[in-house]
Amino acid sequence: MSQYMYRYTKLPQYLPMPKFLTELPLSNTARYIYTLLLNRAQYSQMKEMVDEQGRVYIFYPIHQIAEKAGKGDTTVKVALNQLVDAGILEKVSEGRGRANRLYVLFPDEEVRRKMDVGKLTEVGQKTVGNYGSNQSPSKYTSNIRSSHLRNYDYEEEESF
């Protein structure tokens, strides 16, 4: 049975999701997996699992992530690649048949600035910017200007 939350109710265990995840172009699966990885990284931090440069790393086999997330291995691999492409996860191979060493990263200043594009500034103007991304043309706009398309002429009483 569900219970209401009161002023002094102790919260159940939860996974914190950083706000920047909501502003990155990621799937919900990738966002959830990042929170799982961040949680595991906090555990590694407590256990002092650090490399020679002092960076915290984790081992989290794909099949375990898939089981915890309720997803298939392929879906997890796609989500992990999204996180790598977004620059918030680094995978280092530990050899064939062994789990990769994973480094959970946080976006740098440049990425955070890109996330701010389109938000309101102090004077109410939106920030704009093009960071070299290729914008795809609208699927409703044709670049073909030839007359090979059919011309559907019809008389006043004819149906189309």
Q: 31-35, 42-46, 71-75, 145-149: lowest mean pLDDT where?
A: 145-149
* Mean pLDDT taken over the chain: 78
Element (H, E) at 114: helix 109-115
Burial code (b: 16+ CB inside 10 Å, e: under 16) for 27-59 equals eebbbbbbbbbbbbbeebeeeebeeeeeebbbe
Set out the domains of the chain in order of their start, with CATH numbers: 20-115 (1.10.10.10)
Could you report the per-residue pLDDT of 2-56, keeping only the tens digit for each? Answer: 888 888 888 888 888 899 999 999 999 999 999 999 999 999 999 999 999 999 9
Rounded CA-CA distance 116/98 in Å is 39
Measured CA to CA, the distance from residue 6 to residue 139 in angstroms comes to 51
Q: Please report, for residues 104, 117, 121, the alpha-carbon distance to residue 126 in angstroms, rounded to integers and kept in the order given.
A: 31, 8, 6
Residue 57 region, left (φ>0) first, then alpha (ψ -120 to 50), else beta?
beta
Q: For 20-57, give the DSSP string.
A: HHHHSS--HHHHHHHHHHHHHHHHHHHTT-B-TTS-B-
**pTM recorded for the entire structure:** 0.66
